[in-house]
Amino acid sequence: MALTFYWYPKCGTCQKAKKWFDMNQVAYNEVHIVEEVPSKEQILTLIEKSGLPGKKFFNTSGKKYRELNIKDKIKDLATEEMAEILATDGILIKRPIVTDGEKVTVGFKEEVYKENWL
């Protein structure tokens, strides 16, 4: 089964991940995370399957994250509330996110990709 690759084409990390997939001939379906923002339910599923805390799904280096002052709010939020915020704008989501329906990785680290996607 092909992977689902949530990405933002202007994101340098996403470009590196895409290049890695192409070089390693890994099949994937692209989802432009800003044009097709995952739903709250999809985000909750991704969080659950990743085994990571919900806060790891926020793009903490993004301008919008800072503008909305999410850093101060996040510590008091339940995972469900985090997913609700993330579903409002793909720019808030850390990327790329890759899933095969069972496993989920967030961001791009070559060793993690080798371990999970080869």
Q: How many folded domains does the chain comprise? A: 1
What is the tens place of the pLDDT at every residue in 8-21?
A: 999 999 999 999 99
What is the tens place of the pLDDT at every residue in 78-94?
A: 999 999 999 999 999 99
What gap in Å lies between CA 59 and CA 107, rounded to an integer? 10
The CA dihedral of 19, 29, 58, 117, to the nearest 10 degrees, is: -60
Tokens of 37: 């923002």
Torsion-angle region of 55 (φ positive above 0: left; ψ -120 to 50: alpha; else: beta): alpha
**pTM for the whole thing?**
0.94
Domain assignment of residue 37, given as a range: 3-117
Residue 77: CATH number of its domain: 3.40.30.10
- Residue 31, H or E segment: strand 28-32
What angle (nearest 5°) sits at the alpha carbon of residue 96, between those of residues 93 and 100?
A: 110
